[in-house]
Amino acid sequence: MTRAPIFRPDLDAEVSEEFRFHLEAEIEELMAGGMTSEAARVEALRRFGDVSYFQTRCRRSDERRSARERGREVLDALRQDIRYTFRSLLRQPAFALIAILTLGLGIGANTAIFSVVNGVLLSPLPYREPERLVLLWESVTDLPQISVSYPDYLDWRQRAKSFEGIAVYDEGDSYTLTGAGDPETVQGHLASGNLFSLLGIRPALGRLLSPADDSPGAAPATVLSDGFWHRRFGADSGIVGRTLLLNGAPYTVAGVLPPDMRLGGGDLWLPVGLFASSPRYARSEHTGLLGVGRLKPGVTLEQMRLDLAEVSRQISTEHPTEAAGIGADGMPLSDLGTRRIRPVLVMLGAAVGLVLLLACANVANLLLGRAAARQKEFALRVAIGAGRGRLLRQLLTESVVLALVGGMLGLALAWSGVKLLLSLQPGSVPRLSEIHIDGTTLLFALGISLLTGLLFGVVPALQSTRSEPLAALRESGRGATGGVGRLRLRAGLTVTEVALALMLLVGAGLLLRSFLKLAGVETGVDPEGIIAGTVLLPERSYPDTAQRLAFFEGLVARVRAQPGIADAAFSTDLPTSSGWQFGVTFEGLPPPAPGAAPLFHGVAVSPEYFATVGLPLIGGRALQPSDRSGQPPVVLVSEALANRSYGEADPVGRRFKLGGPESDQPWLTIVGVVGEVKNDGLSALEARGTVYLPFAQWVGSEAWLIVRSDAPVTSVAGMLRRELAGMDRALPLSNVTTLVQQIEKSVAQPRFSMLMLTIFAALALVLAAVGLYGVISYSVTQRTREIGVRIALGARRGNVIGSVVGRAMALTGLGIVLGTLGSLAAGRVLSGLLYGVTATDPLVFGGVVLLLGVVALVAAGIPALRASRIDPVTSMRE
């Protein structure tokens, strides 16, 4: 507790001295009254009491007092430092403004990105022990990620040892809700009854699904999402026990989910067990189910993988035709949705980090320039007794105050930046609602401001307090070149700025080129003017396939007759977003190894489909209205399928069937070949190939109604709804979209990353250009006198300018080399985000190097020219 008394008076000695004085005076007085010296001594001590006891008490009081005083002194000094700082900053408002603005931009960008990272990546899932939850899927040789077959899932539950429990749910399907006001298409998820207890979710109302709801004879139950409950039923708490008609079948509302249920996102949940006997959930069918497992405590992902691999091996041995080559894998549930955005955020985090470093370098440079000008002031303060520590503290106070004010500005910028970000609605960023400026973000901003203040402040502070006071005074504040140390520091700053700016600009350039390439990708169809929506025919009202086909054909005929409609068709999927893949067996070709069969996209279409979406016929004939049930089964294939399977040979007239060699599907005759559509997303490099089946031979209960029209989307959609209602008043038109929107979705994330990085790179370019100009032009200006002397001594103007500019360009060159090395090292972060461009794209690197070179040349050239024009005599007298 007691500290060595170095800077304060020895309190113990003071108390002793005080007591000694008292006792001596007392003894003297008693002796004056006639006592002997011995008796007086005894009496004085008696009157005093226990000396050492009182000494301790006095010293304790003194220590408390002096500690308090010291605290007050430190505060006083700080207050003084801060007051002094504000005064000296106000004296140079331009400097203060530029520094604060620079820091504000840097800190603001970092805070904004941090708040996104904090909301998207760091906030925990609202489930019980979320770290033990995993998302599970299956795989086959040709596809690394397919949904889970229901019987396989039941086998997992029996055999896998890594899990406390496994549930399944699907990504949702459309259901028509009737019997409660207007008919509406709702999104319903199927889930196994144990899903909610496995996640650890409690109902907001009533009860959630339980395993009992999965059993075959159970009364059909449904659970509503919080959003749907509010939207459709006005949060009516009497909803529990009511019956809803979904696709005509009755379901009893069992309960309502809490608002923070993140899985799914649809309107309601149904027990998958009710549909277990449907052919959709046969072993060979992978129709949209995903697994959610809760790992036993201590089980790692690796152990889980081995476990699943073993179970999958058993399944594929036991069911060689339906489950050949099946595998399974998983990832932490918290990665769901964040897996794709994570590299983007890592990249953006790195980018804003670079921006902040750049801002630091700029402000450090400004401080250096200021320190040179204040050399005399410092020397004076040292001369009148300020210690180096005191001066250092003063300078650091200045930089921390600058950084904190910059931080406040940054916070304001981040706040509005995040608002802007959210208004852009980057569709690919999950958990957007979690993003806001909260306490954690504030702490981050504060921390980063302090750190920044120390980072840019400490080197210039050390640098400017090191100099000899006497020498500085004698130099009358105008060093010839500012000292060797400072020169070296400035050279370092120049190199750093160039390197940082190069890395940022290269990153932005690469993403920009990727984006341009991606935006220029041909989708294979002509998306302009295509408007579409889905129609779902409930099995109860339309039990018969002929009835359904007649309905869709009638609807298309009605729509085609409308004015302003160039073309109309229907299909099971929109181009560029096929959701159905299958393996096939080609007649006359050697069967592929078990499990190695290639998978193709499949879509059932009406004959007008190809003309409507602008997909060209390349060989053979198109589909015809006569290709319907009862007629020979025919099929069109895309170029890629033809090439992958038959090579150069003409595929027309050949036959294949869906499924493996033992499948009892009919042989389909290829009658034509059409162009390729990017069905695997725009960035997929190789087309998988697509099979086009005639809808009339493969009638489903749901279809996209697709029209081509130049009329506005809303009026076309209104017309489609009217025509639909004209055929059946109970049917809604759902998912209305344009093909252009559909395609843009797959470009949304690249657009978002590119936009953000471009903003940061533009910021970096400005900071770097200003900083580079500042650093270089300042050091050239510092050499004005030297330039004057050399010209006076007869040096040629051109040579002098050349040497000054040459030195600046040499430093820039070094920065470019270091920045290039850094960019190449960081290429790994970027490579996953690039499309059609390598991380070492010479065009981007060349362009950026050229840009920085020009900035450096201008920054060095202008002041050098100016310096060389000054009359040598003037420059020396200055």
Interacting residue with another protein among 35, 51, 422, 789 (CB under 8 A): 51
Nearer to another protein, 15 or 856 (CB): 15
Residues 771/497, Cβ–Cβ less than 8 Å = yes
Residues 342/122, Cβ–Cβ less than 8 Å = no
The stretch among 11-19, 249-257, 326-334, 412-420 that binds another protein (CB under 8 A) is 11-19
Interacting residue with another protein among 8, 12, 16, 26 (CB under 8 A): 26
Nearer to another protein, 58 or 789 (CB): 58
Nearer to another protein, 14 or 528 (CB): 14
61 contacts another protein (rule: CB under 8 A): yes
Interatomic CA distance for residues 690 and 599, integer angstroms: 9
Q: Give me the least distance between CB of 64 and another protein, in Å please.
A: 6
Interatomic CA distance for residues 706 and 531, integer angstroms: 6
Nearer to another protein, 54 or 84 (CB): 54
**Size, binding site for another protein by CB under 8 A:** 24
Q: Give me the least distance between CB of 28 and another protein, in Å please.
A: 8
Q: Give me the least distance between CB of 58 and another protein, in Å please.
A: 4
Beta-strand pair 268-271/184-191: parallel
236 contacts another protein (rule: CB under 8 A): no
Nearer to another protein, 54 or 275 (CB): 54
Give the list of residues 6+ apart from residue 564 with CB closer than 8 angstroms, or none. 709, 710, 711, 716
Q: Give me the least distance between CB of 471 and another protein, in Å please.
A: 41
587 contacts another protein (rule: CB under 8 A): no
58 contacts another protein (rule: CB under 8 A): yes
Nearer to another protein, 15 or 244 (CB): 15
Q: Give me the least distance between CB of 55 and another protein, in Å please.
A: 8
| 3-state SS, one letter per residue, for 546-569 | HHHHHHHHHHHHHHHCCCCEEEEE
72 contacts another protein (rule: CB under 8 A): no
Residues 636/622, Cβ–Cβ less than 8 Å = yes
Interatomic CA distance for residues 797 and 868, integer angstroms: 6
21 contacts another protein (rule: CB under 8 A): yes
Q: For residue 250, what is the enclosing H or E element?
A: strand 249-256
31 contacts another protein (rule: CB under 8 A): no
DSSP, residue by residue, 436-487: ---HHHHHHHHHHHHHHHHHHHHHHHHHHHHS-HHHHHHTTT--SSS-HHHH
79 contacts another protein (rule: CB under 8 A): no
17 contacts another protein (rule: CB under 8 A): yes
What does the block give as tokens for 435?
């993003």
Cα-based distances in Å from 741 to 172, 524, 532: 21, 16, 11
3-class DSSP state for residue 649? coil
Q: Give me the least distance between CB of 65 and another protein, in Å please.
A: 4
CB atoms within 10 A of CB 90: 9
Give the list of residues 6+ apart from residue 61 with CB closer than 8 angstroms, or none. none
Nearer to another protein, 67 or 817 (CB): 67
Interacting residue with another protein among 22, 79, 83, 540 (CB under 8 A): 22
101 contacts another protein (rule: CB under 8 A): no
13 contacts another protein (rule: CB under 8 A): no
Interatomic CA distance for residues 845 and 495, integer angstroms: 17
Nearer to another protein, 19 or 86 (CB): 19
The stretch among 62-70, 350-358, 395-403, 634-642 that binds another protein (CB under 8 A) is 62-70
Nearer to another protein, 19 or 580 (CB): 19
Cα of first residue to Cα of last residue in the chain, in angstroms, is 59
CB atoms within 10 A of CB 537: 21
54 contacts another protein (rule: CB under 8 A): yes
Q: Give me the least distance between CB of 47 and another protein, in Å please.
A: 5
Nearer to another protein, 65 or 828 (CB): 65
474 contacts another protein (rule: CB under 8 A): no
65 contacts another protein (rule: CB under 8 A): yes
43 contacts another protein (rule: CB under 8 A): no
76 contacts another protein (rule: CB under 8 A): no
Interatomic CA distance for residues 101 and 409, integer angstroms: 8
Interatomic CA distance for residues 548 and 541, integer angstroms: 10
Interatomic CA distance for residues 710 and 566, integer angstroms: 8
Interatomic CA distance for residues 841 and 843, integer angstroms: 6
Nearer to another protein, 49 or 216 (CB): 49
Interatomic CA distance for residues 111 and 229, integer angstroms: 36
3-class DSSP state for residue 536? strand
335 contacts another protein (rule: CB under 8 A): no
The stretch among 23-31, 151-159, 342-350, 815-823 that binds another protein (CB under 8 A) is 23-31
**Among 517, 508, 520, CA closest to 754:** 508
Beta-strand pair 249-256/184-191: unpaired
42 contacts another protein (rule: CB under 8 A): no
Percent of the chain as helix, strand, coil, to the nearest 5: 55, 15, 30
Q: Give me the least distance between CB of 56 and another protein, in Å please.
A: 9
**Among 27, 21, 22, CA closest to 44:** 27
What does the block give as tokens for 256?
């309502």
Nearer to another protein, 34 or 49 (CB): 49
Structure-token match 């997992």, residue found: 156
Q: Give me the least distance between CB of 77 and another protein, in Å please.
A: 21
Cα-based distances in Å from 53 to 49, 135, 834: 8, 73, 80
Nearer to another protein, 67 or 346 (CB): 67
Interacting residue with another protein among 10, 18, 544, 878 (CB under 8 A): 18
Nearer to another protein, 7 or 53 (CB): 53
Q: Give me the least distance between CB of 25 and another protein, in Å please.
A: 4
Interacting residue with another protein among 25, 97, 480, 589 (CB under 8 A): 25
62 contacts another protein (rule: CB under 8 A): yes
The stretch among 10-18, 163-171, 596-604, 803-811 that binds another protein (CB under 8 A) is 10-18
- The conformation of residue 839, written as its DSSP 8-state character, comes to T
The stretch among 56-64, 173-181, 309-317, 437-445 that binds another protein (CB under 8 A) is 56-64
Give the list of residues 6+ apart from residue 585 with CB closer than 8 angstroms, or none. 591, 597, 656, 657, 659, 660, 661, 663
Which of positions 427-466 make contact with another protein (CB under 8 A)? none
Q: Give me the least distance between CB of 70 and another protein, in Å please.
A: 14
* Chain residues in the site for another protein (CB under 8 A): 14-15, 17-19, 21-22, 24-26, 29, 47-51, 53-54, 57-58, 61-62, 64-65
